Amino acid sequence: MSSLLSLVREDLRAFAGYSSARRAGVSGSIWLNANESSWRNPADAGLGANRYPDPQPAALRERLGAVYGVRAEQVLVGRGSDEAIDLLVRALCNPGRDAVVVSPPVFGMYAVSARLQGAPLVEVPLVDDAAGFRSDLSAIGDAALSSGAKLVFLCSPANPTGQALAPDDILALARRLDGRCLVVVDEAYGEYSDQPSMASFIDAQPNLAVLRTLSKAHALAAARIGCLLAAPELIAVLRNCQAPYPLPSPCVQLALAGLSEPALVHTRGRIITVRAERERLHHALSGHSAVRRVYPSQGNYLLVRFHDAEAVFQQLLAAGVVVRDMRASPQLADALRISIGSPAENDALIQALASGRAAA
């Protein structure tokens, strides 16, 4: 058994999962094997929604592999990257025994999935210093080893704090934990970052996995398409733990169209705009009297501390501008997270702040 498969729960290593009609590997012209309707719904305009979809569409896996620089067998597609997070925790962590390591303040789904599985959650808080937030990867490694963790989640660029991790540092952690723990790098905002993806290192370091999504830079949040990039043997295990038909056919078709070369040209242009607007908004907010600190960011958002975050939050709401209240998160009692919108939307945000200097 490979050291990677030894991280999988003992009872799931040979688990075959549910053998759905579409996983049988048969073909034909008259489909009578899945108890579907032979007639389309009157509202079905050519989608063929009367038939169950392919659980892991080959064309989409191939396209995602090409976009992210991996082979199709290294791709598991699911309902957003949230599903991949949940599958990883359920497949690797025995309840009450195998821990999950996170670095708060960070995306909350890692902790939610651990809680639902009954996996101990080990927190190694981010360090907030003059340069911004940073991960203490040495402390994360120590915590993973001492707790017997099976999973470490790293968010890079980090949500909501904005910093990105250097590949060499991530690789050093993965090597330290080789055979003991899977290091999962959540690159949901990777398109906006200066740091390269970790996907190209998976072959050399199989206890490394990467999460990607079409919800952010690719502007397909409602399609709910995300993926895990990992060693093929881990992908095979997770497929057996996944729901039989996770991907609606209309969403798959939308994803394939959204990953076409013409669509990617538009996406790259939007990324350039967002990065420029991120810098413009950072500069504008830094000079506002209500602002205590604006953190550097490699995502499509800024984390901002305010002298009176409640007043600013309400002031923006009154102007119709909705931002994310982060005050319930550890270390962020005075902070709001602001997504980078279109230039016009960012102008509206700046104007709404300028109209209420009393919030300072």
Question: Which percentage of the chain shows pLDDT scores above 90?
Answer: 91
pLDDT band, very low/low/confident/very high, at 32 (cuts 50, 70, 90): confident
Q: What is the pLDDT of residue 210?
A: 98
Distances in Å between the Cα of 164 and the Cα atoms of 3, 127, 157, 187 are 28, 13, 4, 9
Query: Residues 270-316: pLDDT tens digits?
Result: 999 999 999 999 999 999 999 999 999 999 999 999 999 999 999 99
230 in Cβ contact with 209 (< 8 Å) = yes
Angle at CA 59, nearest 5°, toward 2 and 219? Answer: 100
Task: Give the model's pLDDT for residue 217.
Answer: 98
Count of CB atoms situated within 10 Å of the CB of 307: 13
More confident residue, 160 or 16: 160
Confidence of residue 254 (pLDDT cuts 50, 70, 90): very high
Residue 359: pLDDT band by 50, 70, 90 thresholds?
very low
**Is the confidence at residue 1, as pLDDT, over 70?**
no
Q: Give dist(CA 44, CA 27) in Å, integer.
A: 23
Residues 168 and 174: their CA atoms lie apart, in Å, by: 10
Domain boundaries, the chain: 5-259, 263-359
Mean pLDDT (whole number) for 257-272: 98
Nearest residue to 247 via CA among 228, 223, 230, 215: 223
Element (H, E) at 306: strand 301-306
Task: Please report the pLDDT score of residue 46 as a whole number.
Answer: 84
- Res 21 pLDDT > 90: no
CATH top-level class of 263-359: alpha beta
Which positions ≥6 away from 220 have C-beta within 8 Å? 214, 254, 255, 258
Per the CB < 8 A criterion, the answer to whether 353 and 288 are in contact is: yes
**Looking at the domain that runs over 5-259, which CATH code has it been given?**
3.40.640.10
- pLDDT of residue 333 exceeding 80, the answer is yes
Range from 170-174, 186-190, 260-264, 355-359 carrying the lowest mean pLDDT? 355-359
Amino acid in the structure at residue 351: Q
Confidence of residue 358 (pLDDT cuts 50, 70, 90): very low
Strand 225-229 vs strand 208-213: parallel, antiparallel, or unpaired? antiparallel
pLDDT digits (tens, 9 = 90+) for 154-171: 999 999 999 999 999 999
Q: Please give the model's pTM, rounded to 2 decimal places.
A: 0.95
What is the pLDDT averaged over residues 81-97? 97
Rounded mean pLDDT, 13-35: 84
Among residues 110, 257, 281, the alpha carbon closest in space to that of 185 is found at 110
Q: Which residues, including other chains, have CB under 8 Å from residue 209's CB and lie 6 or more apart?
A: 88, 182, 183, 184, 185, 202, 228, 229, 230, 231, 234
Report percent pLDDT > 70 for the chain: 98
- The whole-number average pLDDT for the span 28-42 is 90
| Concatenated DSSP letters of 176-219 | HTTTT-EEEEE-TTGGG-SSPPSGGGTTT-TTEEEEEESSSTT-
Mean of pLDDT over the chain: 95
